[in-house]
Chains A and B, each alone.
Chain A
Amino acid sequence: MAKRLKRRYVVIMAEPRLSGDSVVNAVRSSYRELFGLFGLAISGFKVMKVYKDEGVAIIRCFLKYLPNLLLATASVTKLDGEDVAIRTLIITGTMKRAKEVAETYL
């Protein structure tokens, strides 16, 4: 029987706060740079929700590729010419919990 792929929802936030869209794009391009287009494609990378003005976003990926996503978030150092760090606020198995946590940072 085919095994169901487990997923994880990662809530990320830029420090200092920048636009949510640019944070997500930076993480995506960092992932692509580190693991390639194929790596990005098979990781199940999907942007679930972006809080545009607050610099908070929820990204989903398969559990197997979670370390890759964390490394991709950690390797972002510049965004729109500014020095930034992307913090992971929580890693959770449900979208409901991810939203709850993200909303506490708005």
Chain B
Amino acid sequence: MRRYVDLWVRCENMEKCLEMIKCLKRLGFSSAALELQGECVEKFDDLKREAKEIGLSLYKKLVLEPSSRKELLKLLRENRGRFEVISVICKNLETALVAARDSRVDTIIIPVNPRYRFDKGVAALLKNRVELPFRYFLEDRGGFLRTASEIVSVLGRKCGIIVSSAGSRSLELRNPRQLASLLQVLGFDEERALDSVSSEAINLIEENLVKLSKNYVMRGVVKLG
């Protein structure tokens, strides 16, 4: 049976966050990555405990929005060890090119109507997964579908695509089938579209948990026993 993951849920306060955790479970997710803000940062352990009781695994996510290559590298250096998932919103081509190939970045997010062109050149460099936040679709349907169809046609074959809700309240969350339907409409088959909310995200989190464990030495080297 498939396990579903919502890779981006924005938590601003505890009350809403607890409501969203219950909603995620009801919608059929088994894990979620939370972008924490405000009081939620300190109370993450409490949230994690509450979520575990209802059968949901929580992970910490950081979303970076750097304006230059230098800023991106600085932020990655400071934060990589503290978060299970790091995503970068690529506001310009300079940051997109660095984020696309840096192994410390997990997913890149291309905003709606970016002021740069991503073509075969970007696709050739791309090592990380691309994330499509569903909230962007709810905010600007036309613009999002234009950008997303370009992403799917140019980058879809080269890299994994993940769809996340990026919601900050329970009414902005959608169930896995609804999230996957976005990619099906853009031309993916059902299995691959469902992978974008399950196996792609699960693999990413598992890779990062190994990297963050004490036994990890360097790429390809893990201490056993």
Contact = CB atoms under 8 A, between A and B. Distances in A.
Interface of A: 15, 33-34, 66-68, 70-71, 73-75, 77, 83-85, 87-88, 91
Nearest to B137: A75
Interface of B: 27, 134, 137-138, 141, 170-175, 177-182, 184-185, 190, 193
Contacts, number: 45
B171 A83 contact: yes
B182 A71 contact: yes
A73 B181 CA distance: 10
13 contacts: A15-B171, A34-B141, A67-B180, A68-B185, A73-B178, A74-B174, A75-B137, A75-B138, A85-B171, A85-B173, A85-B174, A87-B27, A88-B178
B181 A71 contact: yes
Interface centre among B27, B138, B177 (most CB of A within 10 A): B177
Given A88-B175, A91-B177, A71 B185 contact: yes
B16 to A, nearest CB: 13
Contacts of B172: 85
B137 to A, nearest CB: 7
Nearest to B26: A87
